[in-house]
Amino acid sequence: PGIHDVLNEHSAVSADFERHRTGLNKMMADENNDGVNPPRAPDRSRADRLEATLKSNPRAALYLKAKRQAESAHWADNTGSGEAGRNAMRILESGGRNEEAAKALEKQRDFVD
């Protein structure tokens, strides 16, 4: 419950921090703007609310972790990290226990020599 809200809030927080990072990079590249007009700082209170929500909803926090792990894996990932994230997401989506999903999230294949 609440996972869609958590995912939307996470996306908004990530976008806000990315906007700030991009603005800082543009500022540093502009020789005429030596820090006089910095970009607006990210909304820290929004990030704090997300953190509090994740602490109060461990299932949503685990799902977010699994989703991020699945999405961050490279297409040629031979560690099984991405597949482990997808498996954990499937367990949670089907109503499985948090412990099962956490265990699936940690499973990764050994490197092949």
The pTM assigned to this predicted structure is: 0.73
User: Residue 104: which of 112, 89, 93 has the closest Cα?
Assistant: 89
Q: Grade residue 87 by pLDDT with cuts at 50, 70 and 90.
A: very high
User: What's the chain's Rg over C-alpha atoms?
Assistant: 18
- Counting every residue, how long is the chain? 113
Start-to-end CA distance of the chain, whole Å, equals: 42
Report pLDDT digits (tens) over 27-73: 888 878 777 788 899 989 999 999 998 998 899 999 999 999 888 87
Work out the pLDDT band at 78, boundaries 50, 70, 90: low
